[in-house]
Every structure is written in C-alpha cells, then in structure tokens.
Structure 1
Amino acid sequence: MSKTLTKESLLATSEDDYMNDEQLEFFQALLNDLKQQTMAHIEEMKAESSIITHKESNDTFCA
C-alpha cells in the first residue's frame, strides 16, 4: 500500500474512486487482520475451555 488510509481519508474519497485498488487493498488487509485476531481468540478460548473441563472432571473424581 502506497500510503496508510484512515477513516477520514476514506470518507473524503470521491465517489468516482469508490473501492479503488488502494481501498480494496486496505479492506483486504483489515479483514485479514480481523480474521487472524478472531482465529487467535478462538484458539485461546478452546485452550481455556479445555483447562476448565479438565479441572471439572478432576474435581468430580476427587469428590
């Protein structure tokens, strides 16, 4: 990307340039970043759930 787009610069873009190559690149990078964050969060929640489930099953056997 030649320059960093901001919300303000996107809103200031003329209608003729709507979703031009630079904007498409910006949004694709934004979506890829959100996807990576979401996938990382899912993995963290899976790990946390596994720990909680493992602890609960141990508590059941110890009772």
Structure 2
Amino acid sequence: MLVTIDQDKCCGAGSCVLAAPDVFDQRDEDGIVVLLDARPPADLHQAVKDAADVCPAAAIRLDHA
C-alpha cells in the first residue's frame, strides 16, 4: 500500500490521526495532515483504510501496489 496526501485539501479535522496515529500526524500551527509513513506495514492497512474513509476532505489517497 502506498499512501499519499493532499495537504491543500486537508481541513485539519484530525480524523486520520485518531484512526491511524502511526501513519498520520498534524502540524501544530494549523492542524494540516502530515504523513509519517507512506508505506505502512500490513498490520496498519485496515487503520489507514479507515482513516481514508473518514477523511471529510478526501485528502488521503491509497494505491494498492
């Protein structure tokens, strides 16, 4: 799995951080998403999928390569 984010779309809701804190974080100054791991291990894939599903701005893209 390859994770990409679009920081321009991010609204800073933080849903991704709650769903997958090992993969996503937020900038302190504005809450915009920061990607910690673009290729998370298999045991985190479901959490990353959940994060993408709950993102209100659709700022997370998953490629299954």
- Asked whether the two chains share a fold, i.e. TM above 0.5, the reply is no
More strand per residue: 2
Q: What's the TM-score, normalizing by structure 2?
A: 0.31
Between the two structures, name the one with larger relative contact order (CA 8 Å, sep ≥ 6).
2
More helix per residue: 1
